[in-house]
Amino acid sequence: MPSMYDAIIVGGGINGGSIAYSLAKRGKKVLLLEKDRLGSKSSNAAAGMLAAQAELNEDGPLFQLAKKSRAMFPLLAEEIKELSGIDIELVNKGMYKIALSEEEEHQYKQIIDIQRQTGELAEWITGEEVRRREPSLSEAITGAVYIEKDGQVSAPKLTLGFLKAAAALGVEIKEYTEVLSFHVEKGKIAGVKTNSGNFESETVIVAGGAWSQKILSEADVKLKTYPVKGECFSVLTHQPLINGTIFSHGCYLVPKKGGRLLVGATVKPNTFDQTVTVDGIGSLMEKAKKIVPSIVNAEWEKAWAGIRPQTSDSLPYLGEHPNYKGLFIATGHFRNGILLSPITGEMISNLIDGESTPIDLTAFRIDRHVRTIV
């Protein structure tokens, strides 16, 4: 008997949502299973920066993937608005990667050279010029790389936008449904077992973020992944303190709609603990005050934490399980899962349909250093 679903997606974060949306656009019958509420984990905690150039310094497979994904946002914003009514708040006012020492200045100028060689726009501007453009910035800033194309979105809205657009195209979504193990027949995936019943499909995609390894151990595969906690806070002002995103080593400030300013983020490896700590937020506040001194007068809004999915070589896993045909994996997006979400959906759909991908995915293969348990 044919399965009810062309594909089952495990995980209702931004990557599960993007894959669901991409498959639905291809006319597939898709079921998405989320163990908690949709978009309640890392994707809800993210700052939404599309920092292909600010966060990735070197040319290589991840940089190529990130640039391609960043270019997909303008069209995606329109599609999601039309299908779901959700405005993902795409802003293209550029990003300032600021230097606070001569050493950083020297390092950033080298990065400009590398990025220009790859055809990207990146410009060094002096401290005076940065403050002319962004008058709230402090005298401690010696200069900045101005990156015109690194924009930002609302990560929670993009996550929900993907999921609601996918639902509008017919994707079935079940919350509070945890996938516990897989149903495998003769080396091929046949479905999933959950806390509320079994579901059949010859294609299953695991997009469970930092929790992917837990479920994948049921499929005899051990990925080299680990969780990395990040804490953030936000404040409110009547007049925006900054217009562009300010990115520095250890602290970034992202201006959001309605006078909100998001400040992130701490980096604490090897924990699933999502507690917001005085130490974490305190250290971020100190860094933020050095960059924008007048932040001390802003109204406190809130603080939160999320768990990033990281891998041992800092590259995501995007591909098919080496032994179980039909089981696909999309995880390990670490600090760039929002940026990489559109391309992740498209690439996984390409692989499922046996098509060639616009970018060579060899570097992201599942078996690059996987230990199969059996």
Q: Which residues bind ligand GLY (CB under 6 A)?
A: 47, 49, 55, 230, 264-265, 308, 335
The item of ligand GLY, ligand FAD, none sharing an interface with residue 306, based on CB under 5 to 8 Å by kind, is: ligand FAD
Of the pair 122, 207, the CB lying nearest ligand FAD is at: 207
Cα 187 vs. chain centroid, distance in angstroms?
A: 31
Alpha-carbon span 74 to 50, nearest angstrom: 12
The item of ligand FAD, ligand GLY, none sharing an interface with residue 98, based on CB under 5 to 8 Å by kind, is: none
Of the pair 209, 244, the CB lying nearest ligand FAD is at: 209
Alpha-carbon span 27 to 157, nearest angstrom: 24
For residues 25-84, which are near ligand FAD according to CB under 6 A? 33-36, 40-43, 45-49
User: Is 172 among the residues that bind ligand FAD (CB under 6 A)?
Assistant: no
Of the pair 127, 330, the CB lying nearest ligand FAD is at: 330
Of the pair 16, 264, the CB lying nearest ligand GLY is at: 264
Query: CB of 162: closest distance to ligand FAD in angstroms?
Result: 10
Query: CB of 162: closest distance to ligand GLY in angstroms?
Result: 18
The item of ligand GLY, ligand FAD, none sharing an interface with residue 209, based on CB under 5 to 8 Å by kind, is: ligand FAD
User: Is 10 among the residues that bind ligand FAD (CB under 6 A)?
Assistant: yes
Amino acid at 29: K
Closest C-alpha among 208, 195, 206, 286 to residue 42? 208
Edge to edge, the sheet with strand 188-194 lists: 179-185, 188-194, 197-200
Which position among 127, 151, 227, 306 is part of the footprint of ligand FAD (CB under 6 A)? 306
Query: CB of 265: closest distance to ligand GLY in angstroms?
Result: 4
Dihedrals phi, psi of 85, to nearest 5 degrees: 80, 0
Cα 186 vs. chain centroid, distance in angstroms?
A: 35
User: Is 345 among the residues that bind ligand FAD (CB under 6 A)?
Assistant: no
User: Is 319 among the residues that bind ligand FAD (CB under 6 A)?
Assistant: no
Of the pair 112, 265, the CB lying nearest ligand FAD is at: 265
Of the pair 22, 248, the CB lying nearest ligand GLY is at: 248
Of the pair 128, 175, the CB lying nearest ligand FAD is at: 175
Query: CB of 129: closest distance to ligand FAD in angstroms?
Result: 25
Which position among 156, 161, 326, 337 is part of the footprint of ligand FAD (CB under 6 A)? 337
Tell me which stretch binds ligand FAD (CB under 6 A): 79-87, 203-211, 235-243, 279-287.
203-211
The item of ligand FAD, ligand GLY, none sharing an interface with residue 35, based on CB under 5 to 8 Å by kind, is: ligand FAD
User: Is 207 among the residues that bind ligand FAD (CB under 6 A)?
Assistant: yes
Which structure tokens are listed for 221? 């595969």
User: Is 151 among the residues that bind ligand FAD (CB under 6 A)?
Assistant: no
Of the pair 136, 213, the CB lying nearest ligand FAD is at: 213
- Contact positions toward ligand FAD, by CB under 6 A? 10-16, 33-36, 40-43, 45-49, 178-179, 207-211, 215, 230, 232, 264-265, 306, 308-309, 331, 333-339
